[in-house]
Structure 1
Amino acid sequence: MTTTEAPTPDVFEPARLGPLTLRNRIIKSATFEGMTKGALVSDDLIEFHRRHAAGGVGMTTMAYCAVAPEGRTERDQVWMRPEALPGLRRLTDAVHAEGAAASAQIGHAGPVANGKSNGVPALAPSASFSPMSMQRIRSATAADIDRIATAHGEAAKLAIEAGFDAVEIHLGHNYFASSFLSPKINKRRDGFGGSLANRAKVALGAARAVRDAVGDRIAILAKLNMDDGVPGGFWLDESLQVARWLERDGSVDALELTAGSSLLNPMYLFRGDAPVREFAATFGQPLRLGINLVGDRFIRAYPYQEAFLLDSARQFRAALDLPLVLLGGITQRSTMDLAMAEGFEFVAMARALLREPDLINRIQKDSATKSLCIHCNKCMPTIFSRTHCVIA
């Protein structure tokens, strides 16, 4: 008896994602846009996503839609509530008019939230101090955890009302769910701390709440850290187990694999130059002085290479049947083809599209097209104002 392997899919062919069919396998990944004054959608935000849709991606992801007021990183970040629906609907209509799908990244920032800006204390597994807000971060109670899980489901239902085709649950970067997964941050001694099974309850509960709330009416992705990039943090072996639990539970249609900690090591996800001075310039004193003096210990530079998360992601591909989205250093056709050949169903990209929103269309016309992104990462500090490539 002989077996025939399935042919490697073309990245530009339509593909199924849960109940959704995308026109191709390329996703604009979530990049906080800094265009939501008053925690509402702006015309600039709509145009930002319309350009990416017109540029050829199969789906563009709005970042980041908090599920609760204290879950925002700062007060101007959108949180999912009825007042936001008209603007969100205009955004999805604009994306759909260009032939692409729209996804809303939903989640709770947890210890990454700025409690002073939000006017509500930030929450984490264990009490700590935030150098961003210069305030204490409160330890979440069991009631907080239940409320936030329920809020994920309610946010997903609002996303459907707003016309989104998918939601992406944020389980990475040491936001709320991810901070519970981290043994470095989570020092609890109750049923949400200690063993991996306990630490994973928040992440699994949020995903289950979304599935229970919306069923198969919308595609559900989860953005999961493969590792935090810090000693003593969440690591590959534990992440693989959480991914298996998510697959077994049937709560998500795909996983987007990520890495790094917005609290402790943000550049671990991005790779390339570390724009320490540019980050410092976005803050007032004394934080500006502190970043200039010691910021290189926190904003560390990592060498850039194409598909820089692939080695870790391969382990997930080997262990799971669940569709996977490869992120990190996807800028050219050959890298997309490599991802398809290795069994990943989708690829996600962001920085290269900030420089060239029409890059996907040009790659489809000419497979030899090279991205102009130089991985300087100077786009990263612009999230505090209006996200853009500073070179384009």
Structure 2
Amino acid sequence: MTEIFAPARLGPLTLRNRVIKAATFEGRTPDALVTDELIAFHREVAAGGVGMTTVAYCAVAPGGRTDRKQIWMRPEAVAGLRKLTEAVHAEGAAICAQIGHAGPVANAASNRAPALAPSPMFSPLSMRAMRVPAESEIPELVAAHVRAALLAEQAGFDAVEIHFGHNYLVSSFLSPLLNRRGDGYGGSPANRARLAREIACAVRDAVGDRLAVTAKLNMEDGRRGGLTVPESLQVAAWLEADGALDALELTAGSSLLNPMLLFHGTAPRRSFAKVLPGPARWGFRLVGRAFLKEYPYQEAYLLERARQFRRELTMPLILLGGITNMDTMTRAMAEGFEFVAMGRALLREPDLLHRIRSDAATRSACVHCNECMPTIYTGTRCVFRPDRTPEPLPLRPPPR
């Protein structure tokens, strides 16, 4: 318990503890800009005791959003983002911007811009073909991530997390199932990893040691023919050798092909069928059972895969997936993980960390029903506290 709640280094940062609020799209940016509701959401989590909270999703381009209502990083967004970072800092926590491009997961119809994919694909979200960027266009994609990181710095963020997971753009380049290119960014594992490495190095070169730089990396896609653990281990080893990242947050699954591998627990098929827009709703009714598979929930459900990365790597690792109580956090520390990331448990109880610190026997009230997933369209929340609007008021500090 002492180790978990002691200050810890993350690159140039010192976090007040080793618990990070994972990126979970908040659904509180209707005009693609910061709102008071978004500030209240993160301030409540910060006041609840985490070492750092992560803002999701800060797209690097307007066409890189999964929905038009998400923030994309541009000068007009900086003033609002600065209010957000100041509010979180006032609660004693650090704040991270998750930056990335949704790639094939982007909604072209909503964004009014083509979705990008490494190879020709049809989008079930927008019911149209995706655009394949030429090799000559890749430097601009890298530059977009750099611009986003610099804007995050300007807005007062302490860290950026680059999205290399869930078959978003970079992850789709890593996947042999989705990347069938014949140029320098396709084919061999080294070529498929090239975009991830170039973005990580370019972001680090741009921000230096002024920000912590992490990445969320898929350990596997969870789909036949997709990225596997051995391939991802090689990618991670290359990223470690490049020296651009301060930590890796290990994840799994595909927003495009197998999202429940990330979440585990009950698949909220009926709820999604009610809220998905237009054509996506019709398609979901046909394939929802195959798309939203069910994986039994257990604590630290990604740990078995993550152990393989811990054995092979020396860089700091962040364990994600089923982190809800003191026992699991202690287990993660004992196995060599420097940080843990919590998501759904903090949607249910933003002050969970304070209560765990006060009483190590505290158990999360999250029941892993995943009904929070469909709420992204109306403001991400735990459905067991539907009328609770996060208020920007500090919670009582834990007893010393």
The TM-score bracket by the shorter chain reads: over 0.9
Match of 1:274 in 2: 267
Secondary structure of residue in 1 paired with 2:82: helix
Match of 2:12 in 1: 19
Please point out which of 290, 297, 301 is paired with 2:283.
290
Match of 1:187 in 2: 180
Q: Name the CA distance, whole Å, in 1 between partners of 2:206 and 2:284.
A: 42
Please point out which of 368, 383, 387 is paired with 1:390.
383
In the alignment, residue 296 of structure 1 is paired with which amino acid? R
Q: Structure 1-normalised TM-score?
A: 0.97
Match of 2:60 in 1: 67
Q: Name the CA distance, whole Å, in 1 between partners of 2:182 and 2:30.
A: 39
Match of 1:3 in 2: none
| 1:131-177: CA deviation from partner (whole Å, max 9, x where unpaired) | 11111101111233111111111111111110000000000000000
Secondary structure of residue in 2 paired with 1:272: coil
Higher RCO (CA < 8 A, seq sep 6+): 2
**4+ long deviations beyond 6 Å:** none
Identical aligned residues as a percent: 66
Aligned partners of 2:65 and 2:72 also within 8 Å: yes
Match of 2:47 in 1: 54
Structure 1 residues 198, 284: CA separation in 2 closer, same or farther (over 3 Å shift)?
closer
1:146 aligns with 2:139: yes
1:41 aligns with 2:34: yes
Q: Name the CA distance, whole Å, in 2 between partners of 1:144 and 1:86.
A: 30
Q: Name the CA distance, whole Å, in 1 between partners of 2:355 and 2:180.
A: 49
When the two chains are superposed, the root-mean-square deviation of aligned CA atoms in Å is 1.0
Q: Which runs of 5+ in 1 are unaligned?
A: 1-7
In the alignment, residue 114 of structure 2 is paired with which amino acid? P
Secondary structure of residue in 2 paired with 1:211: helix
Q: Name the CA distance, whole Å, in 1 between partners of 2:252 and 2:173.
A: 15
Q: Which runs of 5+ in 2 are unaligned?
A: 386-400
1:134 aligns with 2:134: no
In the alignment, residue 198 of structure 2 is paired with which amino acid? G
In the alignment, residue 206 of structure 1 is paired with which amino acid? I
| 1:306-328: CA deviation from partner (whole Å, max 9, x where unpaired) | 00000010011111110000000
Aligned partners of 1:111 and 1:179 also within 8 Å: yes
Matches within 5 A, 1:1-392: 10-392=3-385
Secondary structure of residue in 1 paired with 2:130: strand
In the alignment, residue 148 of structure 2 is paired with which amino acid? A
Deviation at 1:285, TM superposition (A): 4.5
Aligned partners of 1:9 and 1:340 also within 8 Å: no
Deviation at 1:379, TM superposition (A): 0.1
Q: Which moved more, 1:285-294 or 1:52-61?
A: 285-294
How many residue pairs get matched? 385
Aligned partners of 2:372 and 2:383 also within 8 Å: yes
Deviation at 1:83, TM superposition (A): 0.2
Deviation at 1:353, TM superposition (A): 0.3
Secondary structure of residue in 1 paired with 2:173: helix
Match of 1:4 in 2: none
